[in-house]
Amino acid sequence: MEVVEKTKISGAEWEIMRVVWTLKNATSKDISSVLQNKMDWKPATTKTLIGRLVKKGALITENEGNRFIYSAAVSEEAEVKNAAQSILQNVCNRKVGETIADLLSEATLSHDDVALLESILEEKKLTAVDEVPCDCVPGQCTCQHMHG
């Protein structure tokens, strides 16, 4: 499995991205004021994180007079999907089901969410295999010991 990570937004940077995705265009002051209560960052911290995101290509900077306006260069949907997939890339293929089950059992879900998941599971039943093949490097999981 190939790891595709272009931007790779880190923990604290997600806080910034979520504000920019919501506001569409934001100054560092806008971002600071949204996160003020939640994060208790100094303005310099916010600016450092914004700078990193610009460098990573996740944020676009525009000059408006003497202000910098930031907007997102990557979509929220795509980034959330990437982040979710990268979690699953960190476990053995055989543990993916268990990992998803853990996430699922801890989530608060609406009736619509449950219906959506049920329909996906119904489809998955049609293509389920007896044993998920492990493609780990020997030494990174214990599957080979049990089956090799």
- Minimum distance from residue 137 beta carbon to Zn ion (Å): 9
By CB under 5 A, what part of segment 61-100 binds Zn ion? 92
Q: Which listed range, 55-63, 98-106, 121-129, 135-143, lies at the site for Zn ion (CB under 5 A)?
A: 135-143
Nearer to Zn ion, 73 or 141 (CB): 141
Q: Can you tell me the distance from the alpha carbon of 13 to that of 50, in angstroms, rounded to the nearest whole number? A: 8
Report the alpha-carbon angle 50-55-57, nearest 5. 95
136 lies in the binding site for Zn ion (CB under 5 A): yes
Q: How far is CA 125 from CA 21, 115, 129, in A?
A: 36, 15, 9
The contact pattern for Zn ion, residues 18-57, with x = CB under 5 A and - = no contact, is ----------------------------------------
**Three-state SS at 125:** helix
Which residues are near Zn ion by CB under 5 A?
92, 134, 136, 141, 143
